[in-house]
Chains A and B, each alone.
Chain A
Amino acid sequence: DQQVKQNSPSLSVQEGRISILNCDYTNSMFDYFLWYKKYPAEGPTFLISISSIKDKNEDGRFTVFLNKSAKHLSLHIVPSQPGDSAVYFCAARGSGGSNYKLTFGKGTLLTVNP
C-alpha cells in the first residue's frame, strides 16, 4: 500500500528552466512533508519541508507547495542547474507518538541538461 506516490520515475529539464516534481499522498494523518535529494552512492540529504498548516514554503531556488484538499505537493526548482541532477524523494510523517517515522515515495530522477 503506497501511501506516498511519486508517479513520474524521471524528469528531464533544460538548464535555467523550472523543474516541477510532484507527489501525492493518501494518508490524511500525515501533517508534515519533506523533500530529500539523493546523489548516487550517497544518503538522502534534507532539502525543504512544509507543515500541513501552510500551503507554501520557499528556500532560495526551492519552493514546496502543498494542496491539502487534493493531498498533493510539488517541489519547484527555479532556475534548474546541472548540479540539481539527482533522485528526489518526497516523504511524509504524521503527528503524535510516531512522528519520527518517515514514509517515502519511490523517487523521481531529475536530469538537468546544460
Chain B
Amino acid sequence: NAGVMQNPRHLVRRRGQEARLRCSPMKGHSHVYWYRQLPEEGLKFMVYLQKENIIDESGMPKERFSAEFPKEGPSILRIQQVVRGDSAAYFCASSPRSLQGESSYNEQFFGPGTRLTVL
C-alpha cells in the first residue's frame, strides 16, 4: 500500500514564477491537508480539502495561494508569483476520514514533502 506521494520533491523557481505542488493521498483516503514548514520552524496548517471541496483554508495566505482536490487526480497546491519568503518545505497529509477517537488509524499520514526554493 503506497504512502502519500508528493511531487516534485524539489522545485526551484525564480521570483514571479508559478509553483505547482502535487499530492496523491494514500489509497482509500479522501481527506487531504497541506502544511508548510519554514526554516527552523514547526509545520503550520494551511488548508484542508475533501474531494472537490475546500473545508478550511484559514491557514493559507489570502493572495497568490490556492488549493484544489479534484474528483480525479492529485491535490494541487498552487503558488502564483512566488517570492523568496515562499521558500519552505510543503507537506501534504491524508487521512481516511475526519479524525475521531484515538485510533492511530485515524491519524494524518504525511508525504515526504516538496522543498521549494525561490531564487
> Which residues on A are within 8 Å of B, measured CB to CB?
4, 6, 32, 34, 36, 41-46, 49, 51, 89, 91, 93, 98-107
Contact B40 A106 (CB under 8 A): yes
Whether the pair A101, B4 counts as a contact (CB closer than 8 A) is no
Distance, CA A32 to CA B106, complexed state (A): 13
Number of A-B contacts (CB under 8 A): 66
Any A CB within 8 A of the CB of B99? yes
Stretch at the interface among B13-21, B77-85, B110-118: B110-118
Interface residues on B, range: 20 to 34
- Given the known A-B contacts A4-B42, A102-B108, A106-B41, are A43 and B4 also in contact in the complex, defined by CB atoms under 8 Å? yes
Chain A to chain B contacts (Cβ below 8 Å), 29 pairs: A6-B42, A32-B102, A41-B113, A42-B112, A43-B4, A43-B93, A45-B110, A46-B108, A46-B109, A49-B102, A51-B102, A89-B42, A89-B43, A93-B99, A99-B100, A100-B56, A100-B95, A100-B108, A101-B48, A101-B56, A101-B59, A102-B35, A102-B43, A102-B45, A103-B45, A104-B35, A104-B42, A104-B43, A106-B41
